[in-house]
Chains A and B, each alone.
Chain A
Amino acid sequence: MSTNVSDAARPETAPQSAAAPHAGRYYRRFGFIERLMHAGLMFTFIGCALSGLPLLFPYTGWGRALAALMGGFEGAALVHRVSATVMVIVFVSHIFQFLWRGLASGNILSVLWGPDSLMPQPKDIVDLYQHVKYFLGLGPRPNFDRYTYWEKFDYMAVFWGMFIIGGSGLMLWFAVPLSHYVPGWMFNVATLVHGEEALLAVGFIFTIHFFNGHVRPEKFPMDLVIFTGRVAEHELKEERPEEYARLVREGRLVQIETTPPSARAIAFGRAIGGTALVLGIVTIVLILYGLLVG
């Protein structure tokens, strides 16, 4: 199965790959726009989480302290709504970028299907099955392509979340004008859905996404690719053998070769990513505490 994994290319210790600039070749994985959008989502997500969580745990000391820190519920609402608005702007601009990329490539279907698309496809089911077998020691690691199934899940979850949380949030924000058109009980449903979905999103990002993308032993403490945009050759080969083989086959590998990430980019990524990681993990601890005492 793992035909493309060359044992010689395997680094001695995996974490080294995410550390200091590597001597080997580097390839561009994410462009500036993608990195900017991830950063935008990151900041607005944390902004929404920190200003919204006190309402889910109003009986905790930390909830009260956090709300007071933001200047009461009006202040928290302002932080929440500004964050949410920026997040929606990021989301909408992504849709435009997505369509633009499709149109520019001459084939809009290329962003909706195929190995370079983020849409779930049959291979993802196979990959998931094989990955679980690999976890259990029953088979080799699957040959992942450019986007793995868990990355696609994270991506699609943003769409789901954006409609569910964004929709219910907008309903609650504009409840009074909306009440001329929709019945009041819809706001009860919106409140319930908004809170539960928020707990799901926060819980998922700050545990599952953090583990999958960052803190698992191969990436510990974090994968800087979303901050620097660059991936080391050995890492690409090992992590995404199918993509590597495809790039070689199609002769595109040389096109995306780039310089190693600068020390500054690495420091920047570590500062931003590290802060987000710590904030997220602290938040999870506070949520667990809130659930326990609640």
Chain B
Amino acid sequence: MSTCASVTHVTLPHRDSRWRAGEVHAPRERPAGARSTQPRRPMQPAQLLKALALSLTIGLAAAANAADPNETCMMCHADASAKGAGGKSIAVDAAGFARSVHGEMQLKCTDCHADVSADKLPHPEKLKPPACANCHEDAAARFAGTVHGKARADGRTIAASCRDCHGAHDILRTSDPASRTNHVNLEQTCAACHGNEALIKKANLPGGNIAGMYHDSIHGRLLHEKGSRQAMAPECTDCHGTHDIRAKSEKASRVARANIPATCGNCHQREKTVFDKGMHGKMLQAGNAAAPVCTDCHTAHTIQETTRPQWQLAVIGQCGNCHDDFISSYRLTYHGKVTNLGFANIATCAACHGAHDVRPASDPLSKVSAENRLATCRTCHAEAGPKFASWDPHPQPRNKERSAILYYTWIFMQALLAGVFVFFGLHTVLWAYRSLRTALARKRGNR
């Protein structure tokens, strides 16, 4: 059995039927009419003919009357069952567009679909992608520097474009609770790719199903609450950014190792202040690449309440990633044995060393400094005597330099055990041999 370091997906399988990987772009709670939900039917030849005839009629009509170009477009695109020559739906939900931020602004279809002209209808089957950058210059320029933008520039068109996050004809203001980019919906928006197992595999997305992990984390669970707590919960973009999402390997990334305390510190200011003054924080400031940051102990996407026993036990393993010799000596003590058995209500690493404020024992401010050690012991062993702290919480019986008496005790016990078991082991083996021979001889004699 492995140690309890496994990720705790406490709410898996998802109890929330609203949320399923691959389905996230169409949450069932989204207000009706926000997106087209018309069922698709295969087009019959008669329908196809009818549609073609209709297009011709509209083309002629449009040529005659160009007062409202959108109305002209909708003559074809309003039909929910309308399909292009390739069989793909060309339907546009007029009501949805009208509610959208672009609809509100009374943009014309041709403002985005600039390669369509009312003079030349029907327009070619294949259109250029809408040029969002024409209006959203700044966002588009910043997007080009993101991990998504760079991937697309490299030809990996599976990477998210404007439309994948914002939608197409139904783009709402981010402040609108129904918007894909609204605080409460962003998890689902990102999960369309980062929670979609097939796509994760296909695009080899870093971190695997991070949306699923986030969903069960303390942040994810907070997001699923209501009211002010929900508003407090960070979602994907709070840590990763929006038009500045960068791979963590990039120095400028919000989630680059060196920047993580600052990113987490946006909300957890108090912890960050303490961390910055502690040993690990100072190592990080000194540019030490091995310095642990928030996510090394807390993880990135599976963050749990620090009061959870599973987390308290798992974090011992995280400390052990660097301090493995201290873990093996800790495991020789009652503290270390009990935590290894799976019970957390006993001294863990942080109980003695502190967490964000961890300092070397040589630092007088450290919880385990010579000055503070006894007081630290007394947080649990309230009545501990003055000599109590000479107990070694990291004993090394095989290390003569650390404690000669423990070393010689260990040697003596090893010799005692070996002596007794070797002597009586041989005694038993010989006796068994003799007894079996005697018993066999007796059996033969009886025959």
Interface residues of A (CB under 8 A from B): 12-14, 54-56, 58-61, 63-64, 67-68, 72-73, 131-132, 134-137, 150, 172, 175-185, 187-189, 191-193, 196-197, 199-200, 203-204, 207-208, 211-212, 216-218
Return the 6 tightest CB-CB contacts between A and B, nearest first: A184-B391, A180-B385, A179-B385, A58-B340, A135-B430, A179-B388
Contact A176 B383 (CB under 8 A): yes
Q: Is the interface of B mostly helix, strand, loop or mixed?
A: helix
Do A184 and B388 form a contact, CB below 8 Å, given A54-B341, A58-B338?
yes
Q: Among residues 428 to 447 in chain B, which have CB atoms less than 8 Å away from a CB atom of chain A?
A: 428, 430-436, 438-439, 442, 446
- CB-CB < 8 A to A61: which residues of B? 1
Q: What residues on B are CB-neighbors of A56 within 8 Å?
A: 337
Say whether, besides A72-B343, A187-B391, A188-B406, A216 and B384 are in contact (CB < 8 Å). no
In the complex, 7 of the A-B residue pairs with CB atoms within 8 angstroms, ordered by the A residue number, are A61-B1, A179-B385, A179-B388, A179-B391, A188-B391, A191-B395, A218-B435
**How close is B281's CB to chain A, nearest CB, in angstroms?**
31
> Do residues A184 and B341 form an inter-chain contact, with CB atoms below 8 A?
no
Q: Which of A55, A58, A60, A188 has the largest number of chain B CB atoms within 10 A?
A: A188
A193 contacts B413, CB within 8 Å?
A: yes
User: Given known contacts A179-B391, A185-B406, A204-B421, what 10 new A-B pairs fall within 8 Å (CB)?
Assistant: A60-B1, A67-B342, A135-B427, A179-B385, A179-B388, A184-B388, A196-B413, A200-B420, A216-B432, A217-B432
**What number of A-B contacts does a CB cutoff of 8 Å give?**
142
Q: Is the CB of A197 within 8 A of B413?
A: yes
Q: B435, A217: Cβ atoms under 8 Å?
A: yes
Quote the shortest CB–CB distance from A52 to chain B (angstroms): 10
Q: Is B341's CB under 8 angstroms from A192's CB?
A: no
**Cβ contacts under 8 Å, A59 to chain B:** 1, 3, 340
**Smallest CB-CB separation from B388: which chain A residue?**
A179
Any A CB within 8 A of the CB of B409: yes
Docked pose: A93 CA to B435 CA in angstroms: 37
Which residues in chain B, 253-283, are within 8 Å of chain A measured between CB atoms? Answer: none
B430 A132 Cβ-Cβ under 8 A: yes
Q: Is the CB of B406 within 8 A of A180?
A: no
Hey, what's the 0/1 contact readout for B336-355 against A, CB within 8 Å counting as 1?
01101111001000000000
Residues of B bordering A, CB below 8 Å: 1, 3, 331-334, 337-338, 340-343, 346, 381, 383-392, 395, 397, 403, 405-406, 409-410, 413-414, 416-417, 420-421, 424-425, 427-428, 430-436, 438-439, 442, 446
The answer to whether A180 and B410 have CB atoms under 8 Å apart is no
Which residues from A are CB-within-8-Å of B403? 185, 188
Within the complex, which residue of B405, B431, B434 is in contact with A185, where a contact is CB–CB below 8 Å? B405
Pair B341/A67 contact, Cβ less than 8 Å:
yes
Q: Is the CB of A183 within 8 A of B341?
A: no
B397 with A192: CB separation less than 8 A: yes
- Give, as a whole number of angstroms, the nearest-CB distance from B382 to chain A: 8
B436 close to A217 (CB less than 8 A): yes
Q: Are B334 and A176 closer than 8 Å at their CB atoms?
A: no
Chain A residue nearest in CB terms to B1: A61
Q: How far is the CA of A218 from the CA of B436 in the complex (A)?
A: 9
Q: Which residue of B lies closest to A216 (CB)?
A: B435
Docked complex Cα distance between A188 and B417 (Å)? 19
Report the minimal beta-carbon distance from A145 to chain B, rounded to whole angstroms.
19
Residues on A with C-beta less than 8 A from B386 are 179-180
Query: For B416, what are the chain A residues with a Cβ–Cβ distance below 8 Å?
Result: 196, 200
Minimum CB–CB distance for A80 against chain B, Å: 12
A179-B385, A188-B406, A200-B416 in contact; A55/B334 too (CB < 8 A)? yes
A58, A150, A178 — which one has the most chain B CB atoms within 10 A of its CB?
Answer: A58
Are B442 and A13 within 8 A (Cβ)? Answer: yes
Question: Which A residue sits closest to B378, measured CB to CB?
Answer: A176
Taking a contact as CB atoms under 8 Å apart, the answer to whether B446 and A177 are in contact is: no
- B420 contacts A216, C-beta separation under 8 Å: no
Whether the pair A73, B338 counts as a contact (CB closer than 8 A) is yes
- Report the nearest A residue to B410, measured CB to CB: A192
Instruction: Given A68-B342, A136-B430, A184-B387, answer yes or no on A176-B381 (Cβ-Cβ < 8 Å).
Output: yes
- Contact partners of A73 in chain B: CB under 8 A: 338, 341, 343, 346
